Structure 1
């Protein structure tokens, strides 16, 4: 259990296992602790570094918006701080968006990228989810006191009273339009896109992202010669939703298969 002063933030992280480093990034309103059920699977033959992102878990908020681009810089700075040699970066939901930003802006710092349950266009989100996201603000704090997110925050946050502030910031972040199509098209880091078959975005959106990576355009061939030229991959996990992917044993299973590829 350690803290790193990086990029203007005191970033909390935990380290598990030994081997080639893997940075594992949690989802919004959670913390690295949310991966507890599947951490042993991730840490088999790997050193897993699990940070708490800005304003989440044991990392106190700072005076700046919640922005995946800036949080990507936080993780790039953490990689430098720890002296990691091109670790693989795996992120879920908000963490998947942050992981993508590391690959977009700091490709030389990482090995492979896995982005799970992370869409690249806001307008690809199901309309009913966008409506729910529009209701996330400090005013919703009193209605969340019985939720696991609130319980976790109250238990571990340096300033538990900041929960309404976190809701305000994450609500503002979700209200902003985004489209990372061109950044994905230009990705040079081998990337796997992961989603549940009943995720926050339709499976077709993740297939669209894979297509931007030269995937799904032709038969793969007997020797894999028709696969994506950049070594990219797509995994749609059966029977999995946005809300349980981060504890599904299928998640580390497909990640390990992708990361062991040459």
Structure 2
């Protein structure tokens, strides 16, 4: 799969859950301890097609389409990471899941971090990939590009995998310009989760590509907030972060290839399935 191909041959059992006033679409794959999988902006669960078989071989993967994305129709509220984190928490209750793991990429990574902050007792472990915790962490040229995202860009995106996926699966394909407006407004917001990350209660792995949207140093900074990278780990792991947190910088990848990489799946499973300290 290339970065320009978001189709998938992986078929799951698709269902809808009515939570928080939104009809949330999710697909279930495999069996085992539940793992909720959250896609990136302008995508859907189908983005993970290349890695789903590996994840579903060890877990019951519940791939969710977030508000206004994929097969989940938009509703009359802003696109807000905290609202979407609350949707995921409500889905956990709706499905009566016992502390599922949360794995999210980019937009989905921001959602799982906020879910871990707001709903720690509902969650097992968290993997947040390519998700920065400060709006000023990403490269200046990327912020400038994000500032141009809006309905007016829809016409220029017709050859992109984001547009083609949306047209294929969305309940209202004509809503794509509206989604661009909402995601543009979301990306324009300033935010800083530094203090919230310091007190994170859920064992969390921060994952990034070595050529991601923010520099590797940002993800190291996040790891330090989680008590990581401050001392030698010790022969018996006694110096590792007290909360069970971890950091992975994956080589040879970018923000646009990490979510479909076998390295991402392998690293995620290694963290989720390791014995608790």
TM class, shorter-length: over 0.9
SS in 2 for 1:228: coil
Specify the alignment match of 1:27 in structure 2: 40
Deviation at residue 260 of structure 1 after TM alignment: 1.3
SS in 2 for 1:239: strand
Pair 1:102 & 2:111 matched: no
From 46, 67, 72, the counterpart of 1:59: 72
- Stretches of structure 1 lacking an aligned partner (at least 5 in a row): none
Deviation at residue 124 of structure 1 after TM alignment: 0.7
Q: CA separation in 2, counterparts of 1:188 and 1:56? A: 29
Q: CA separation in 2, counterparts of 1:50 and 1:183? A: 26
From 59, 62, 87, the counterpart of 1:46: 59
Q: Deviations over 1:49-79 (max 9, x none)?
A: 0010000000000000000000000000001
Q: CA separation in 2, counterparts of 1:45 and 1:121? A: 33
- List structure 1 segments (4+ residues) > 6 angstroms apart after TM superposition: none
From 213, 221, 244, the counterpart of 1:208: 221
Give the length in aligned residue pairs: 262
SS in 2 for 1:13: strand
Deviation at residue 117 of structure 1 after TM alignment: 0.1
From 78, 93, 96, the counterpart of 2:106: 93
Q: Deviations over 1:209-253 (max 9, x none)?
A: 000000000111111111101110000000010000010100110
Deviation at residue 101 of structure 1 after TM alignment: 1.0
Deviation at residue 259 of structure 1 after TM alignment: 0.8
Specify the alignment match of 2:173 in structure 1: 160
Q: Mapping of 1:163-178 within 5 angstroms? A: 163-178=176-191
Deviation at residue 131 of structure 1 after TM alignment: 0.4
Deviation at residue 45 of structure 1 after TM alignment: 2.0
Specify the alignment match of 1:84 in structure 2: 97
Structure 2 length as normaliser, TM-score?
0.94
- Stretches of structure 2 lacking an aligned partner (at least 5 in a row): 1-13
Q: CA separation in 2, counterparts of 1:10 and 1:186? A: 32
Q: Deviations over 1:157-200 (max 9, x none)?
A: 00000000000000000000000011111101000000000000
Q: CA separation in 2, counterparts of 1:148 and 1:260? A: 32
Specify the alignment match of 2:239 in structure 1: 226
Specify the alignment match of 1:4 in structure 2: 17
Structure 1 length as normaliser, TM-score?
0.99
Pair 1:185 & 2:207 matched: no
